[in-house]
Amino acid sequence: MKSPIYRHPVLYQLAMRIVYGGWFEERFRAVADAIPDGVSLTDVCCGDGYLYRRFLSTRHIDYLGLDINAKFVHWLARRGVNAQVCDVRFDPIPEADIILMQASLYQFIPSHENILRKLVDAARKCVILTEPVRNLSTSQNPLLSRLGRRFTDPGTGEAPHRFNEETLRQILIPYSVDRFEPIAGGREILVRIGKEGG
């Protein structure tokens, strides 16, 4: 059953602000700083589109947000954001200079390698990933762990597994990674996978 935080963008953003605390803005700013002007960007699992609305909308970026949540997509469309419903497990990812996925790859375990390959194949220049490596769902406290899993279900089922820094590095071995650095106070890792000529 879909987590309550995915039922409305306002609830989603409130939950994210609680989880990230003082690092909420910084995590988006770090991603925005990694995206140059003048590119096309496909934001996979874009959620409430906060990155675009807060940091990219005034820049020369051809943006497309993709999300499985039709309510989020319609909410963004009403605010003039180019977004469309997409289930990345089955639907094609539109090509762009940069393909972005923020804090969502864990949702696809154990099929994450297939999803990562789809992201890379759709990118003309690079893929930018952020992925949490410190999570409530991996807490030693059973209650916190259960809440962490329950509140990250977008409607496709609970995702009980998470990456840590080492397991994230392992899945990236086949790719040309030119950035791997902590953001948001070490809660997430920002990764850039380059493409030839990108």
Give yes or no for residue 45 having a pLDDT over 50.
Answer: yes
pTM, rounded to two decimals? 0.86
Q: In which element (H, E) is residue 157 found?
A: none
What contacts 146, CB < 8 A, 6 or more positions away?
Answer: none
Q: To which residue do tokens 């309550």 refer? A: 4
> Mean pLDDT, the chain, as a whole number?
88
By the 10 Å C-beta count (0-12 exposed, 13-18 middle, 19+ buried), 27 is classed as: buried
**Domain that residue 137 falls in:** 4-194
pLDDT attached to residue 139: 43
Q: Provide the CATH number for the domain around residue 97.
A: 3.40.50.150
Strand locations in 45-158 (E): 62-67, 83-85, 96-102, 123-132
Q: Read off the pLDDT of residues 58-69 as tens digits, 9 standing for 90 and up.
A: 999 999 999 999
pLDDT tens digits, 162-177: 899 999 999 999 999 9
Count of structural domains within the chain:
1
